Amino acid sequence: MKDIAPGLETLEYVFPGERPAGDFAPVLAGVVGSGNLEVLVEPAPGSDCSIRIETSARGFGGIWEAVVRDFHARHPLAGVRVSINDMGATPAVVSLRLDQAVSELTP
């Protein structure tokens, strides 16, 4: 049993945005509890939507990519930075949390 610390997995994705999000107060949704995640959405320079994930559930990069790709398809925002701390949330909960955070973006 390799006994090095399991460590977190960090994943990063960038998508070209279409709809400028403009300036808004950072929004936090969710809580880093077991099977849950927190999502922080902040304004960012440029026209991309960058997504950074730190997760204790290792080895699900393919699924994360599919989930965030569909999220960006639903909300093609430009100029936003999404940061996630995840403790093993299922794709259903991740998508729900992302949609919740975006719905609270008030300029």
Give the β-pairing of 77-78 and 19-20: parallel
Compute the least distance from the CB of residue 77 to other proteins, in Å. 17
How many Cα neighbours within 13 Å face the side chain of 39?
Answer: 25
Angstrom distance (rounded) from CA 28 to CA 17: 21
Strand ranges inside the chain, DSSP E: 9-16, 19-20, 27-30, 37-43, 48-55, 77-78, 80-86
> Is 36 a residue that touches other proteins (CB under 8 A)?
yes
C-beta closer to other proteins: residue 20 or 61: 61
Of 6, 12, 23, 106, the residue at the interface with other proteins (CB under 8 A) is 6
Which of residues 14 and 31 has its CB atom nearest to other proteins in the complex? Answer: 31
Task: List contacts with other proteins (CB under 8 A).
Answer: 1, 3, 5-8, 26, 28, 31-33, 35-36, 38, 40, 42, 54-57, 60, 62-63, 66-67, 83, 85-88, 90-93, 95-96, 99-100, 103
